[in-house]
Amino acid sequence: MSYLTVFIGAGIGGVLRYAMSPAIQRACNYWNFPIGTFTVNMLGCLIIGILGQLTESKGLLQSEMRLFLFVGLLGGYTTFSSFSYETFQLLRDGQILSAITNAVLQVVLGLFCVWIGWVIGRLL
């Protein structure tokens, strides 16, 4: 049942991202900056921060709903929100080195993997 919960949430989140990101880009007259993706990522971070705090401090969400929202919906909307929340949790728990390592490695290695994929794609 947990897989179905995540599947449904991710589908909804992906559709929301697909609808919102280009709409925001158009609304900003197609700036020469990925403002749609940026806005979606920042909104996802804001929402996961609010829900994370309410879940931890007030027990707002039960495990299935948290799975649906955090992993499914927000994961489908943007994995950047999950990455940011997990890094925040490391910082909050005093694991500064792990938080910095996570942030730097995810960004740098993510870009590197995109480049490697690009190179592999050119060879195919």
Q: What is the pLDDT of residues 48-79, one digit of tens each?
A: 999 999 998 888 889 999 999 999 999 999 87
Total domains present in the chain: 1
Give the predicted TM-score (pTM) of the model: 0.78
Q: Is residue 95 part of a domain?
A: no
pLDDT digits (tens, 9 = 90+) for 32-43: 888 998 999 999
Q: Is residue 50 part of a domain?
A: yes
Q: Is residue 112 part of a domain?
A: no
Whether 12 is covered by a domain: the verdict is yes
Assigned domain for 55 exists: yes
| Domain range for 74 | 2-78
Residue 115 lies in a domain: no
Q: Please give the single-letter amino acid code of residue 54.
A: L
CA 66 to chain centre: 15
* Distance separating alpha carbons of residues 78 and 37, to the nearest angstrom: 9
Q: How confident is the model at residue 110 (pLDDT cuts 50, 70, 90)?
A: confident
